[in-house]
Amino acid sequence: MAKNNLTTITRFVLVGFIDLPKWEAPLFLVFVSFYIITILGNLGMIILIQVDIQLHTPMYFFLSHLSLLDACYTSVITPQILATLAQNKMIISYGQCATQFFFFTICAATECFLLSVMAYDRYVAISNPLLYTVAMSPKRCWNLVAGAYIGGLLGAILRTTCTFSLLFCEDNQINFFFCDLPPLLKLACSDTTNIEIIIVFFGNFVILANALVILISYLHIIKAVIKMKSSVGRGKTFSTCTSHLTAVGLFFGTLIFMYIRNSSGKSLQEDKVVSVFYTVVIPMLNPLIYTLRNKDVKAAFRKLIGRFQASQTLQNCLKG
């Protein structure tokens, strides 16, 4: 069909749940619950780290930014999912779709960089404990976090510019929950070959490069742990890394499954399930992972609850 006979679309229709009409109400309640837990959990983690001086260390500084990213990450996607469930379908403008895609990409790419920064932090802490405070000074920590955000921003600009330089015409129904790359490429009516090469190369580079940094960091950590003479010290060291490894495994595992594996064996239903997992479920799980596996966080939480109870008791005494 000649290009001049095509009508460029100005809006998209999200129909991600059109094949599950009977499940829309239950799914709405599930996603609302997940969203509330995610926001409360991540904001609670940020507040806890800020108010407890014992948590003013590089590890928890990075964790607070991870919680901030998770709260933003799910807020970009989940309200859109809830609106789609409530209305059976959701009409969004071309600009809204591009904006959602841009901020979603910033959060995802920045989280990749931040998780590798957190792995490097654990490597420095375990391999050079005496020089840790010098090597991970506040200035160095802020530079590493700033680098993660800048990397995420540059990636989002490149990915969004390439994706929305494509021509979309006639078919405007996105069989997905939000504006993600795979369904958008399927809708494009212009040649996507060159754009896909650029996007896929950069996306794979970000995921695999950060995964490599994490792998190298943990190989050095394992090497340092093996040299430890105390079994108690080895156990304590591994326990400080368990939470981060769990978060890394969940996040990078789903990203690799979604974007790097062979597209010939992929199905749309699988993509939907995986996308819900890494945009909704993982941001909810991260605060639980770091709380349940971390004695310092649990102690800080108990201390905060104790302060609150003492304050309530004092207020009741003054009123009495």
**Confidence (pLDDT) at 5:** 46
The dihedral built from the CA positions of residue 131, 135, 136 and 139, taken in this order, carries a sign that is positive
User: 74-95: per-residue pLDDT in tens?
Assistant: 999 999 888 888 877 778 888 8
Q: The pTM is what?
A: 0.87
Q: Integer distance in angstroms from the first to the last C-alpha of the chain?
A: 82
Give the chain's domains with CATH numbers: 3-319 (1.20.1070.10)
pLDDT at site 1: 40
Q: 301 Cβ partners below 8 Å, 6+ apart?
A: 48, 291
| Biggest alpha carbon–alpha carbon distance for the chain | 83
88 phi-psi bin (left φ>0, alpha ψ -120 to 50, beta other): left
Residues whose CB falls within 8 Å of the CB of residue 312, separated by 6 or more in sequence, listed in order: none
pLDDT of residue 308: 63
CA-CA-CA-CA torsion sign (136, 142, 147, 153): positive
Residues of the chain with pLDDT under 70: 1-8, 18-21, 232-233, 235, 261-268, 292-293, 304, 307-320
What pLDDT does residue 107 have?
93
| Contact of 119 with 213, CB cutoff 8 Å | yes
What are residue 200's DSSP bridge partners? Answer: none
Q: Is 128 helix (H, G, I), strand (E, B) or coil?
A: coil
Question: What pLDDT, on a 0 to 100 scale, did the predictor assign at position 182?
Answer: 82
Strand partners, 11: 93
Q: Which residues contact 235 (CB under 8 A, 6 or more apart)?
A: none
C-alpha to C-alpha distance for 50 and 292, rounded to whole angstroms: 19
Helix, strand, coil percentages (3-state) for the chain, rounded to 5, are 80, 5, 15
> Count of alpha carbons within 13 Å of 292, Cβ hemisphere only?
9
**pLDDT at residue 58, rounded to an integer:** 92
Alpha-carbon distances of 28 from 14, 70, 84, rounded to whole Å? 15, 20, 9
Between the CA of residue 218 and those of 119, 213, 215, 238, what are the distances in Å?
Answer: 7, 9, 5, 10
